[in-house]
Structure 1
Amino acid sequence: MKSQEKIFSRKSAPERSARMVETIYGCKWSLTVYQLLAHDINRPGEMVRNVEGLSTKVLNECLRKNVQFGILNRVSFNEVPPRVEYEVTPFGDKFIRILDQLEVLQNEISEADE
């Protein structure tokens, strides 16, 4: 009897993107930051003033993670006093659309459980 040649190999989850999604969902403020940016609130001080319970320290950590992943871009202006703004990168637009689709999927799952 001939052994059949295997055509498929084990498929694993995409490591970097899975870690990115986990990190962003693990940061409870990232989705709020995206919502603020969508409403043209792009300066850290303005973000803290517009969200109850958000501290400057936690916001800066969240923004730093998003910049490291390439989701957000930090724009520094050479002014006195210094001014910093954040914007969503083209990659960030794609990533946020994927997160939106995950939310739609979660809503469908929740509706099916009812």
Structure 2
Amino acid sequence: MINKDKKIERIIGPAQSARMVETIVGCKWSLTVYQLLVQGINRPGEMVRATEGLSTKVLNQCLKRNIEFGLLKKMSYPEIPPRVEYIITELGYKLLPILDSLTQLQEEINKSK
């Protein structure tokens, strides 16, 4: 039996994490970047060469956003020529199953059309 007198409190979603997921999923290249990093392709030049249509400018914007969220970390090495690599942080690894679930959901939606 439902108690009609009891008020339900509004549930407020986790704003920061929701914005983070929206930004990452909304970026055309973020999922590809994570796929590259998981495969061990972690240098910007390698990423651009491995991905058709990805420009250096767009890659740098994508990497910067992910670093700001704390999902990726930039590793700079004091070598000549300079070497830069990106790694997925602990928080980034926690996000990967969520991104995989969203990808699977989209595939199911596409199949049902």
* Residue 82 (structure 2) pairs with residue 100 (structure 1): no
Instruction: State the TM-score, normalizing by the size of structure 2.
Output: 0.88
Is residue 2:18 matched to residue 1:12? no
Match of 1:97, SS? helix
- 3-state SS of the aligned residue for 1:48? helix
Q: Which stretch shifts more, 28-37 or 101-110?
A: 101-110
Please give the per-residue CA displacement for 1:85-112, whole angstroms capped at 9, x wherever unaligned.
001111101111111112222333444x
Secondary structure at 1:100 match in 2: helix
- 1: CA distance between counterparts of 2:106 and 2:41? 27
1:21-72 deviation line (CA, Å, top 9, x unaligned):
1111121010010111111100001111111111111000000000001111
TM-score (norm 1): 0.87
Secondary structure class of the residue paired with 1:85: strand
Q: How many residues end up aligned between the 2 structures?
A: 110
Q: Letter of the aligned partner of 1:26 in structure 2?
A: G
Where does the alignment leave 5 or more consecutive residues of structure 1 unmatched? Answer: none
Matched residue, 2:23: 23
Structure 2 counterpart of 1:37: 37
Which portions of structure 1, spanning 4 or more consecutive aligned residues, are displaced by more than 3 angstroms? Answer: 3-6, 108-111
For structure 2, the residue ranges without an aligned partner over 5 or more in a row are: none
2:25 and 2:99 in contact (8 A); partners too: no
The code of the aligned residue for 2:41 comes to I
In structure 2, distance between residues paired with 1:73 and 1:26: 20
Correspondence 1:61 to 2:54: no
Identity over aligned pairs, percent = 60
